[in-house]
Amino acid sequence: MLVGIIGAPNKGKSTLFSALTSIDAKVANYPFTTIDPNKGVALVAHDCAEKRIGKKCNPRNSSCDNGVRLIPINVIDVAGLVPGAHDGKGMGNQFLNDLSGADGFIIVVDASGKTDEYGNPGNGDPASDLEMIMRELSDWVSGIIRKHMPQISKKESGIDAMEEVLTGFNITRRGIESAIEKLSLSSSHIDWTDEGINRFAMLAVLGSKHFIVAANKADVDGASGNMQEITKKAEEFGMETVACSAAMELALQKAHVSGMITYKPWEKGFEVIGKPSEEQAKALEYMRQFSAAHGTGVNELMNKLIFGEMKQIVAYPVEDDNKFSDHFGNVLPDAILMPTGSTTYDLAMRIHTDIGKSMLYAVDAVSKMRLGKSYELKDGDIVKIVSAAK
C-alpha cells in the first residue's frame, strides 16, 4: 500500500511527511523545497488482537505499544503541484508520475490562507487550491487518454481498452465502469469529445483513488475562518477534511525525543517531565490547548484515510491456532491490512500465492470454527490457513 502526500507548494507537505514518518525531509519556507520524492514509512494505529486472547504479542511486520498495533504504511511526498502541472509547468509531469501508483492521497491545503496557489506568501484560497489539485490530476489522466485514443477507439470493448491504458496508474476497472455509466458515455469503440474525456477522467480518478484533505496549519490565525469553505469544497468531491497541524506534531515528537515530554501520537495529550524554560512552557501549554480534544490531527488523518476512506481491516494469520503463533512461537506475528470484504482465500493469497492456490480451508483461532475459502474476514480476525502447500 502506498499513500501519496500531494498539494500546492509550501502548504506543509514535507512537514507532514516528517511528522508521519519521523524522517526529517528537507523543510524550508519557499516553493519546490522537494526536488526528489521523499519516501518513508508511516505508522497507523489499531487496537491489537492481543487484547482478545489475553497474551502478549511478538510482532514481526509491525510493532505494538500497550495494546496498540502500529502498522507500517509506505508514504511518498512529492513536489508541489501548480496550475498547469499536467502541461509541464512547475515541476510538471515528473511528480504526477511519481504518484501514479499511490492507492490513497492526502491532499494538503494551507488552512490559514497565507500562501497562494504557487506557494508564495500572500492571500491564498485553500478551497480553490483543493479544486486546482483535483483538476491537475484529472487533466493528467485526460492527457493520457487523448494520447492513446487512436488505439482505444479501435477496440470493441472500450472498457477493456481503457483499463489497458490506465491500469499502470491504478485507475480501476470498477472506477472506469462507474464513470462511463454515470456519464452515459459510449463504451464501444470509444470516441468521446474533449468534454466527455475530461468529465470521465475526473470521475474515474475519484472512483479509483482514495482521498482525504489535510487542512494543515489549523492552529495559525485565520484558519478557523477558512475551515467551512475547505470542508464544503472537499464534500463536493466526496472527501472528508481533518484539521491538523503538522508543525505542532513534529514539535511534540522532538520534545519527546529530547526528554522534555512523554508523548505518543496515537494517544491524546502529553506529560511534561523536563524543566522547560518560560518560553518553552508557554509553547507547550499552547500546544496542549490546541490538541486537547483530537491531538494534532496527524494520527487522526492517517487513521481516517486507511480505516475510513480506504475501508481497511486488520487480519492476523497464525500457524498454530492454539498458541496464536507462527512456527517460531511468535504470538500474533503479523498484522495484515486487507480491504473490507476480503475472504480467507484473499488472505491466503496475500501470504503466498502457493498457499492460496493450495488452500483447503481456514480456522478461526479464537472460536476454533472451520472457515471456508469464501468466509468474509472481520476486523481483528485471527486465522489459521490450512493449505496443501508446504
pLDDT above 90 (res 77): no
The pLDDT of 296-323, averaged and rounded, is 96
Grid coordinates of 164: 489497458
From 27, 170, 169, 4, select the one nearest 77 (Cα to Cα): 4
Encode pLDDT of 328-344 as tens digits: 999 999 999 999 999 99
Second-level CATH architecture of 2-37+78-240: Orthogonal Bundle (1.10)
Q: Is the pLDDT of residue 43 over 50?
A: yes
Angle between helices 126-153 and 223-236 (to 10 degrees): 20
pLDDT band at residue 129 under the 50/70/90 scheme? very high
H helix runs in 223-374, sequence order: 223-236, 246-257, 278-291, 298-303, 344-351, 353-357
Is the pLDDT confidence value at 153 over 80?
yes
26 — pLDDT class (breaks 50, 70, 90): low
pLDDT score of 192 more than 60: yes
Give the pLDDT band (50/70/90) at residue 88: low
Q: Which three cell numbers stand for residue 16?
A: 507532514
User: CA-to-CA distance for 295 and 299, rounded, in angstroms?
Assistant: 8
For residue 55, pLDDT over 80 is answered with yes
Question: Tell me: the pLDDT tens digits for 359-383?
Answer: 999 999 999 999 999 999 999 999 9
137 pLDDT band (50/70/90 cuts)?
A: confident
pLDDT band at 170 (very low <50, low <70, confident <90, very high): confident
CATH architecture of the domain formed by 313-387? Roll (3.10)
* Per-residue confidence (pLDDT) for residue 116, from 0 to 100: 82
Q: What is the pTM of this model?
A: 0.89
**Segments making up each domain of the chain, as ranges:** 2-37+78-240, 313-387
Q: What is the pLDDT of residues 232-261, one digit of tens each?
A: 999 999 999 999 999 999 999 999 999 999
**CA–CA distance, 148 with 385 (Å, rounded to integer):** 44
Q: Cell numbers at residue 210, please? A: 482514495
Do 313-387 and 2-37+78-240 have the same topology in CATH?
no
Q: Is the pLDDT of residue 155 over 80?
A: yes
- In 3D, which of 28, 42, 218 has the Cα closest to residue 114? 218
